[in-house]
Each structure stands twice: as C-alpha cells, then as structure tokens.
Structure 1
Amino acid sequence: MAALTFDAALFRKQIPAYADPEKYPDSEIESWWEQAACYISTENYGWLNGDSRALAINLMAAHLMALSAAGSSGAAANVAGAGGIVTGATIDKVSVTLAAPPAASDEFDYWLTLTPTGQRLLALLRGKAVGGFYVGLYPELSAFRKVGGVF
C-alpha cells in the first residue's frame, strides 16, 4: 500500500473554505498538509484507509490552518494556545475571564473541537473506530467465543 501524497484539487473539493487559490496558494496548503501528516500517517492501511485517510489528513491540515489564522489575526480568544474562550473582559486594570474547557474525554478531543474542521475530523475518527480494536492473529480472538462456538 502506497503512502498518500498531497492533492490540492482534492483538498479544495473536500474543504471549500480554502477553495480560493489566490488567498490560499497550493504551496501554503501543502506546507500545512505536511504538518498534518505528522499527526495522521500517510500510509494507507488499517481502519482509516483510502478516501477516509485522505479526508482525515486534509481536515487536520485545515484545522491547523484555522488555528494559525485565528492566532495571527488576534482572534485567538477561542484558541487553545490563548487559554480558552473569553466570557468577560474589563477595560480598566485589564481583567479577562475565560470559560472552563468543556468536558471532553481528553485534551486532543478538546483541541479538535476548537474549529469546525477539527470537529469533522473528530467525528470521522470516532466513526471509524466504532467497535474498538483488537490485537491478535485471528478475528475471532476479538470475540467472546471462537468460530464454532467454543471458547
């Protein structure tokens, strides 16, 4: 199985928010795609394969791009790096109140929920992982009984 490579046309088709090639050049998107490949392997195998793996990497790249854009534009109040969502602010003596992070199963889930593309990625990963995983030589080792009904 071959490793996936960056496909700008597929990226723009799957994530229309980045469809403008002048605002988002292919080289910039590819740079973020390469970073996304550090989070999600480009090796096309396992329960996340084919179109699903390509979509997952593209969503991760878009998530990273959105977080970077929010941070550089000064709108980082709802980004994890800034500490959370601003719920109140005071001008004199500068006071900022941040909301506590929502109950998430872990920090990675919370981090993904910070952008719409991250939420799509989280839903994809959870959908593909339904039923859990097993480690063994035979599929029946994941069951309560072996094939034929014996233990």
Structure 2
Amino acid sequence: MGCIQYNDSAFRSLFPAYANTVLYPAAMVQAFWDTATAYVSNRKGGCYTGGMTVAQQTLALNQMTAHLLYLNGQIAAGNTPGVMTGATIDKISITLEPPPAPNAWQYWLQSTPYGQQLLALLQVVSAGGFYVTTSVPGQAGFRFGNGW
C-alpha cells in the first residue's frame, strides 16, 4: 500500500500563491500538509482512498494543504471567513451569514478558493457511491442466483 509523501516542488507549482519559500518555508508547508492528512488520508489503496486514484488523492491533499494555509493567513490577518450582512462601528458589532451549505464541512471548505476546489473534486469522485458484495453484481446492483 504505502503512503503519499509531501512533494514541495509539486505543491508550489500547483499553488503559486505559496511559491515564496521565505514567506512559506518548506518545513511550514510540510507541517500544514501533515495536518491535511487528518482530513484526507495519505494512505494508498483500500478503503482509505474513497474511490480516488493516487493522482486525485494527491491533488486532494495538496488542495487541503492550500486551504489550511489560506485560512491560517486569514486568521493571522484578523479576518473572519463569512458573508458580512451587517456591521456597527460604535461598540463594534459584525453580523456574518454563512453561505448556503448543507453542512458544516461544506461551509468550512467553501470559505477558501482551495477548499472550493477540493469540495468539487470530492463531489466528482464520490458520484455514484459504492457497492460492496462478495459475489458478482447483476443489473442495477442486485445479486441473482442461489441464496438470494
């Protein structure tokens, strides 16, 4: 099986916003990539891939890394992701409205351009779902023959 390893040059060529190695040292990006593996598995094959090819899984890991880096930058700059629907200057009050999302995972991914790319990839590779059986499926996923 094995694991997908972080590739610094491949990541930086995919995401030129993080090409500056002074602002984004390799060790820092690697740390965010390691964190990304908590959301997207870096283990190849089996049930870990969610139906993705190794190339898709690698892209998903890199997109999650860029998503986490982007959020970190937003937080460091004092920006809160969200759609502002109201603000008060005196006594500082801000009202945020989440974008339409069916769940917190999708809302969180929609908060950055890289998360949006990742969400699109995950939706494409998960289309159709999975069918698990010990025998050969028939038409429309039903088993035919003895025992059923």
CA distance in 1, matches of 2:65, 2:54: 17
> Normalised by the size of structure 2, how large is the TM-score?
0.85
The alignment status of 1:28 with 2:28, answered yes or no, reads yes
CA distance in 2, matches of 1:41, 1:125: 13
Instruction: Decide whether the 8 Å contact of 1:109 with 1:122 is kept in 2.
Output: yes
**Could you list the runs of 5+ residues in structure 1 that have no partner in the other structure?**
79-83
Instruction: Decide whether the 8 Å contact of 1:14 with 1:55 is kept in 2.
Output: no
Please give the root-mean-square deviation of Cα atoms over the aligned residues, in Å: 2.1
Equivalence for 2:71: 67
> Normalised by the size of structure 1, how large is the TM-score?
0.84
Equivalence for 1:9: 9
CA distance in 1, matches of 2:139, 2:16: 40
Which of 82, 85, 107 pairs up with 2:83? 85
Equivalence for 2:96: 98
Instruction: Decide whether the 8 Å contact of 2:83 with 2:99 is kept in 1.
Output: no
The alignment status of 1:113 with 2:110, answered yes or no, reads yes
Task: State, as a whole percentage, how many aligned pairs show the same letter.
Answer: 39
Instruction: Decide whether the 8 Å contact of 2:135 with 2:143 is kept in 1.
Output: no
Q: Which of 27-36 and 14-23 deviates more?
A: 14-23
